[in-house]
Amino acid sequence: MTQLCFNLFNESAWFGPTPDLPRQIRAAASAGFDSVGLDTFSLARLVESGERVEAIAELIGRLGLRCPEIAALLIGDDPGETEAQLTLLEQAVRVLRPDWILVNSHLQPSAQTAGEFRRAADRLGALGAGLAVEYLAISPGIRSIAGALDLIDRSGAANAGVLVDTWHFFLGPDDWDDLAKLPLERLAYVQFDDHPAIVGDDLREETLHRRVFPGEGLFDLERFSRTLRARGFDGLVSVEVLSQAWRGGNIEEFVRRAHRSTAPYWR
């Protein structure tokens, strides 16, 4: 059965305030989610405040959840920065035991990018985590399923797959044939969200602040889920609604609506 994951990134420390991770995790369990997705920015802020990542892992386990995804490893042109991120991620992986580390890159696939990717895959793979390449419709680098596969193939990493986010699928260059042809064994997992009509020229602002719950926007999510389910997909679906309107608001209601709007597409 498909595993539904509540992605906590809408309240991430990346946006500013320190998030209340325990409250969000309890809300996810209460709403019926199977798991939660964390991010390095919030985990780093947690440690800076004197808290322990182990306490978060214990809470997740006590509530019957797990943490299958952590965002994000950002591969750029500074190997030193990649090294610093890997050091933090290794600590998080040892404690939280995720299946996947989300990877983004603004660079085109190249020997250098592939080498950095392979280095990360080997180190995190030794701890049991795979790398999920999220292509971004707004990126000058990897912005399609083919681009993500190219990076993985160049690296030769066995513990890697493509992360398909519905926002980037529907607003990027891919079409239904591209989704249908992606081998299921190369699909790491899905991030699920919807979006209303675009109102400005800044797609970065749109993707970070104006997403809506599944079924409340313009994406053909029924066809999307049907395309994957018909091929036998029953993996991880992470609900990532990035909404400024909800950020800092009622967490419990936000999580309930995320689960209620997503579950019918996958169960």
- CA–CA separation, 13 and 39 (whole Å): 9
State what percent of residues in the chain have pLDDT above 90: 97
| Nearby residues of 252 by Cβ (< 8 Å), 6 or more positions away | 27, 30, 31
pLDDT number for residue 230: 97
* Tens digits of residue pLDDT in 188-233: 999 999 999 999 899 999 999 999 999 999 999 999 999 999 999 9
At residue 166, what is the residue type?
T
* 179 class by beta-carbon count within 10 Å (0-12 exposed, 13-18 middle, 19+ buried): middle
pLDDT at 249 over 90: yes
Q: Could you report how far apart the first and last alpha carbons of the chain are, in Å? A: 8
* 119 class by beta-carbon count within 10 Å (0-12 exposed, 13-18 middle, 19+ buried): middle
* Tens digits of residue pLDDT in 149-190: 999 999 999 999 999 999 999 999 999 999 999 999 999 999
What are the structure tokens assigned to 66, written together? 């797990």
CATH of 3-266, one of 3.20.20.150, 3.40.50.12280, 3.30.420.40, 3.90.870.10: 3.20.20.150
Q: Which helix (H) or strand (E) holds 177?
A: helix 176-181
pTM greater than 0.85 (yes/no): yes
DSSP label of 194: B
* Tens digits of residue pLDDT in 75-105: 998 999 999 999 999 999 999 999 999 999 9
pLDDT number for residue 33: 98
What are the structure tokens assigned to 150, written together? 């190219």
Asked if residue 236 lies in contact with residue 1, where contact means CB atoms within 8 angstroms, the answer is: no
- CA–CA separation, 156 and 208 (whole Å): 32
Which residue(s) pair with 237 in the sheet?
4, 190
